[in-house]
Chains A and B, each alone.
Chain A
Amino acid sequence: MTLEARNLTLHRAGRPVLNDLTLRLHPGEVTVLIGPNGSGKSSLLAALSGTLPFDGQVLLNGQDIRQIPAPQLALRRAVMAQETTLAFPFPVEDIVALGASRPLPPARIAALLSEVGLKGFAHRNAMELSGGEAQRMHLARALAQAETGLEPFWLMLDEPVSSLDLAHQVAVIDRARAFAAAGGGALVVLHDLNLAFRGADRILVLHQGALVADGAPSEVMSDALIARVYGCEAPLNRLPPEGPFLLVQAVQPSARQNPALRA
């Protein structure tokens, strides 16, 4: 019962964005995907969710993901995209209900909404939400799909906290942790290293379409890795020393490492 990529290669507009990636994800874990812009994080998520065509293989519970019809696939994984635009003014509760693979009672929809901090939003126009509210509504939609799916279910979140305030960022990561603790698999794309450190059981670091680090946060995160992957110097501190919290200190642009910053 794993989600596996074998020799995964993906091209976008004729350019390779993922290069011969092989990895295996396990349910019960939060896997956080980090890496600079354009490193292939979203493409990897799109391949693992069966959204984009690729070369190589993606196996969901041992089955080739391309052979799984959309309705069955939806029982196994939910995807929250970086951005979802809405064409018509549905009420918030309808959007959440759209995620569910079988009808959920209104009380369950309301419970999911309060879980993401949108209590009382059920009848609001989903097109008039703020960016952060909309993001949490789509998380509730993914959770509704998880609730009506089969176990182990995979939750794939592409930058789910990009519009959220501090408290909601932490809440979303903690929700992913609770989901994994209950036996599901979570794959989360993040930019915030502190948040990644807090939430991840395992961190995957992508750089130019290749996997450059893979392991527990405390094994993976280092000053050298940050310098190599991001091309900037941002000394890492643990709070307390060797403790669970990571502090990324003020970033020093390094002209030596990052040609883009050379004036």
Chain B
Amino acid sequence: MTAQRLAPLALLGVVLLALGTGATGLSPLRLAEGLRTGLSAQESLVLWDIRLPRLMLGLLVGGGLAVSGVLMQALFRNPLADPGVIGVGPGAALGAVVGIVLGGSGPWVVMGTAFLGGWGAVALLARIAQSGGRTDIARLLLAGIALSALGGAVTGLLVTMADDRQLRDLSYWSMGSLGGATWQKVGLGALVILPVLLLAPRLARGLDALALGEAAAFHMGHRVERLKVLAIVMTALATGAAVSLAGGIGFIGVVVPHLLRLALGPGHRAILPLAALGGGALLVLADVLARVLTAPAELPIGILTALIGAPVFLHILLRRRA
């Protein structure tokens, strides 16, 4: 497959671009030169303390979102499903608002409440969807819609209680950013997201079988209930961590799997590893644009992923119809 061979090269290009782009004059060329001749103390500081953690966070968050998207689409047997369906996004948003409005706006507080909010929503939904020892997917979907609406209402209620500063924090959080990347955040993200990226491909064959329906997957020898629970837990982990580390970033989980399916076919053995790489690469690329387009100001990255993602998505839909 050419796509498999091109992916590492494309990723390398994105990495160099990301490391060589920013407010200070450390360009990709200077970076390449510096690798041989040594960087100045200031350049080295910019590279190690600002750009590298930001790059790593972007790769983790983007990869986590894209792999979560693949898992949800396989679980719901629908190419438009995303982690929001099982309440991770709305739950995390509610958690973040609770953190910002009631908890003071220390970044660790908000991260914690967002992660807990995401997990709480998933746990509640999974419980509601239990029926006779099985996870009923249709019920999961409907309960997800109801719970998202409820979460939105409570979020709105809290927003009316917020002061100006909190409102600003809130709106920035909801648009997403890789701005506050530190090595601690990268470490936390790696701890939660990396295992999901590495383990998800092990579900590939079961997820393929699920494309024929739960009964057929069972007939072909797959432990369907375990598969569903694993997919939900992995998504809650990866998306929960991604959203609490970087805020609301949309479309990565839908666009990346969709493009990969068009290029490689729907087989999950090929899709899952490349979604981990491709989601990361796309998010880092969007982050480069976010830093460059309105420099020295920075665009929230969620705006960019939606600006790029939505038209690409519509284009794909229209082309497929033709």
> Any chain B CB within 8 A of the CB of A73?
yes
A88 pairs with B221, CB closer than 8 A: no
> Any chain B CB within 8 A of the CB of A106?
no
Docked CA distance A85–B213 (Å): 7
Q: Which of B144-152, B176-184, B259-267, B306-314 makes up part of the contact surface?
A: B259-267
Q: Which of B42-50, B204-212, B280-288 makes up part of the contact surface?
A: B204-212
**What is the minimal beta-carbon distance from A144 to any residue of chain B, in angstroms?**
10
B215 pairs with A87, CB closer than 8 A: no
**What is the minimal beta-carbon distance from B138 to any residue of chain A, in angstroms?**
14
From B219, B223, B224, B266, A49 is in contact (CB under 8 Å) with B219
> Any chain B CB within 8 A of the CB of A51?
yes
Which of chain A's residues have a CB closer than 8 A to the CB of B79?
87-88
Q: Which of A55-63, A76-84, A180-188, A219-227 makes up part of the contact surface?
A: A76-84
**What is the minimal beta-carbon distance from B265 to any residue of chain A, in angstroms?**
7
Which of chain A's residues have a CB closer than 8 A to the CB of B215?
51, 79, 81
B220 pairs with A145, CB closer than 8 A: yes
B219 pairs with A86, CB closer than 8 A: no
From A72, A89, A90, B208 is in contact (CB under 8 Å) with A90
Docked CA distance A78–B209 (Å): 14
The chain B residue sitting closest to A50, CB to CB, is B218
**What is the minimal beta-carbon distance from B147 to any residue of chain A, in angstroms?**
24
The chain B residue sitting closest to A72, CB to CB, is B221
Which of chain A's residues have a CB closer than 8 A to the CB of B74?
87
> Any chain A CB within 8 A of the CB of B296?
no
B77 pairs with A71, CB closer than 8 A: no
> Any chain B CB within 8 A of the CB of A209?
no
> Any chain B CB within 8 A of the CB of A74?
yes
> Any chain B CB within 8 A of the CB of A255?
no
A99 pairs with B220, CB closer than 8 A: yes
From A51, A69, A94, B267 is in contact (CB under 8 Å) with A94
Q: Number of contacting residues on B, CB 8 A?
A: 25
The chain B residue sitting closest to A49, CB to CB, is B219
> Any chain B CB within 8 A of the CB of A132?
no
**What is the minimal beta-carbon distance from A128 to any residue of chain B, in angstroms?**
12
Docked CA distance A69–B221 (Å): 8
A70 pairs with B222, CB closer than 8 A: yes
B219 pairs with A98, CB closer than 8 A: no
**What is the minimal beta-carbon distance from B269 to any residue of chain A, in angstroms?**
10
> Any chain B CB within 8 A of the CB of A5?
no
Which positions 95-137 of chain A face chain B at CB distance < 8 Å?
95, 98-99, 101
> Any chain A CB within 8 A of the CB of B171?
no
Which of chain A's residues have a CB closer than 8 A to the CB of B77?
87-88
B219 pairs with A79, CB closer than 8 A: yes
The chain B residue sitting closest to A101, CB to CB, is B221
Docked CA distance A197–B223 (Å): 37
Would A73 and B221 be within 8 Å (CB), given that A51-B215, A89-B265 are in contact? yes
B261 pairs with A84, CB closer than 8 A: no
B211 pairs with A51, CB closer than 8 A: no
Would A88 and B220 be within 8 Å (CB), given that A95-B212, A98-B209 are in contact? no
B221 pairs with A98, CB closer than 8 A: no
Would A84 and B216 be within 8 Å (CB), given that A89-B266, A90-B266, A94-B208 are in contact? yes
> Any chain B CB within 8 A of the CB of A75?
yes
B132 pairs with A74, CB closer than 8 A: no
A51 pairs with B219, CB closer than 8 A: yes
B218 pairs with A70, CB closer than 8 A: yes
Which of chain A's residues have a CB closer than 8 A to the CB of B221?
70-75, 101
Which of chain B's residues have a CB closer than 8 A to the CB of A70?
218, 221-224
**What is the minimal beta-carbon distance from B275 to any residue of chain A, in angstroms?**
14
The chain B residue sitting closest to A145, CB to CB, is B220
Docked CA distance A72–B213 (Å): 19
Would A86 and B220 be within 8 Å (CB), given that A91-B265, A94-B267 are in contact? no
B216 pairs with A81, CB closer than 8 A: yes
The chain A residue sitting closest to B227, CB to CB, is A70
Most buried by A among B215, B224, B261: B215
**What is the minimal beta-carbon distance from B119 to any residue of chain A, in angstroms?**
27
> Any chain A CB within 8 A of the CB of B130?
no
> Any chain B CB within 8 A of the CB of A53?
yes
Which of chain B's residues have a CB closer than 8 A to the CB of A98?
205, 208-209, 212, 220
Docked CA distance A90–B264 (Å): 10
As a 0/1 sequence over residues 140 to 163 of chain A, the CB contacts with chain B under 8 angstroms (1 = contact) are 000001000000000000000000
> Any chain A CB within 8 A of the CB of B78?
yes
Docked CA distance A89–B267 (Å): 9
Closest 3 CB pairs of A and B: A74-B221, A87-B77, A88-B266
Apart from the given pairs A90-B211, A91-B265, 9 other A-B contacts in the complex at a CB distance below 8 Å:
A70-B218, A74-B221, A77-B219, A79-B215, A86-B211, A88-B77, A88-B266, A89-B266, A90-B265
- Chain A residues engaging chain B, CB cutoff 8 angstroms: 49, 51, 53, 69-75, 77-79, 81, 84-91, 94-95, 98-99, 101, 145
A-B contacts, 14 of them at CB < 8 A, read A71-B221, A71-B222, A71-B223, A74-B220, A78-B219, A78-B220, A84-B212, A84-B216, A87-B212, A88-B211, A94-B208, A94-B265, A94-B267, A145-B219
